[in-house]
A = this chain, B = another copy of it.
Amino acid sequence: MAGRRSDTRERIQQIALELFVEQGYEKTSLREIAERLDVTKAALYYHFRTKEDIVASLLDDLAESLDEVLEWGKAQEDHVGARRELIRRLAELVEGKFGPIMRFMQENQPALKTTFHERNPLVSRMKDVFQLLVADEQDPAAQLRARLSLVALVFGNSPQFRDENGGVPPEVALEVALDLVSPRGHRPGAAT
Contact = CB atoms under 8 A, between A and B. Distances in A.
A12 to B, nearest CB: 19
A110 B151 contact: no
Nearest to A136: B192
Interface in A86-111: 107-111
A144 B130 contact: no
Number of identical protomers: 2
Contact of A27 (B21, B110, B155): B110
A184 B184 contact: no
A145 interface: yes
A156 B184 contact: no
24 contacts: A21-B110, A23-B113, A24-B26, A24-B110, A24-B114, A25-B110, A26-B26, A27-B110, A27-B114, A107-B108, A108-B110, A127-B165, A130-B166, A136-B192, A141-B176, A144-B152, A146-B166, A148-B148, A148-B151, A148-B176, A151-B151, A184-B191, A185-B187, A185-B190
